[in-house]
Amino acid sequence: MTTLYTMPGTCSLSPNIAVAWLDAPVDIHTMAYGDHKKDAYLAINPKAKVPAVQFDDGDVLTEAAAILAWLGAEHGSEGYARDTDLGRKEAEALSYMTSEVHAAYGGHFGPQNLAETEDGQAEVKRKAYETLAGHYERLNGTLRDNGGEWYLGKRSFADTFLYVLTRWIDQTPLSYGDYPALKSHMARMEADEGVRLALKRQNMDPMG
């Protein structure tokens, strides 16, 4: 059985939701926090990060955007990372979300990796939140301009990663009140059965 490795609170929730939406034959293995640094998982993914997909033949695929692209190609239909207008826009949106926006959280999750002193780490966090505010304004505007229901106007895998990013706002000094389209999108996602299934499988609760 193909296995998707996840961990509570992480971006692995995005492909977990995609698996639920597609009803794909993929087993979900949720690890306790910290298990990603143990030998058993390092033998699967030496990066010590989730998500990772291990196939029946032992081959491993990492990185959320790559896993979502594989899910769409292998188990999806039109619009899931395929050669369509929506598929191309989805690939662009996921590239932005999984690289630029996700990377901006480095100053939040690991300021000690970017500065040694407490004052330096405080400055790293402050700059991170400034950067994230700009990203969230852009995400909120794109969602609003596309009708406010789905990020690209139609449901796509971009919505799964946007949901992850929107949940993370709660961990920062930023306010949901400044991003009303994102807040409504989060509520819409949490009313979705596939999202609720993925949250349950990953030992997580809805935010609403």
With bands split at pLDDT 50, 70 and 90, how would you rate the model's confidence at 81? low
SS3 content of the chain, % helix, strand, coil (to 5): 60, 10, 35
Q: Encode pLDDT of 11-61 as tens digits.
A: 999 999 999 999 999 999 999 999 999 999 999 999 999 999 999 999 999
With bands split at pLDDT 50, 70 and 90, how would you rate the model's confidence at 143? very high
Mean pLDDT, rounded, for 61-77: 92
Residue 113's pLDDT is what? 83
The pLDDT of residue 108 is above 90: no
- Long-range contacts, 130-138 (Cβ 8 Å, 24+): 131/104, 131/107, 132/101, 132/104, 132/105, 132/108, 132/172, 132/174, 133/174, 133/178, 135/100, 135/101, 135/104, 136/165, 136/169, 136/174, 136/178, 136/179, 136/182, 137/178, 137/179
Count of beta carbons in the 10 Å neighbourhood of residue 9? 15
Give the bridge partners for 205, in sequence order: none
Q: Encode pLDDT of 88-106 as tens digits.
A: 899 999 999 999 999 999 9
The third-level CATH classification (topology) of the domain covering 85-192 is Glutathione S-transferase Yfyf (Class Pi); Chain A, domain 2 (1.20.1050)
With bands split at pLDDT 50, 70 and 90, how would you rate the model's confidence at 86? confident
With bands split at pLDDT 50, 70 and 90, how would you rate the model's confidence at 122? confident
Measured at the alpha carbon of residue 123, what is the angle toward residues 117 and 128, in degrees to the nearest 5? 125
Q: 1, 203, 154, 161: which is closest to 67 by C-alpha?
A: 161
Q: Which CATH superfamily is domain 2-78 in?
A: Glutaredoxin (3.40.30.10)
Residue 83's pLDDT is what? 61
**Pick the residue with more confidence: 143 or 107?**
143
The residues spanned by each domain of the chain are 2-78, 85-192
Measured at the alpha carbon of residue 150, what is the angle toward residues 149 and 152, in degrees to the nearest 5? 135
Residue 109's pLDDT is what? 87
Residue 156's pLDDT is what? 93
Residue 78's pLDDT is what? 58
Residue 46's pLDDT is what? 96
2-6: strand order across its sheet: 26-30, 2-6, 52-54, 60-62
Q: Encode pLDDT of 145-180 as tens digits.
A: 999 999 999 999 999 999 999 999 999 999 999 999
Tokens of 105: 């959280």
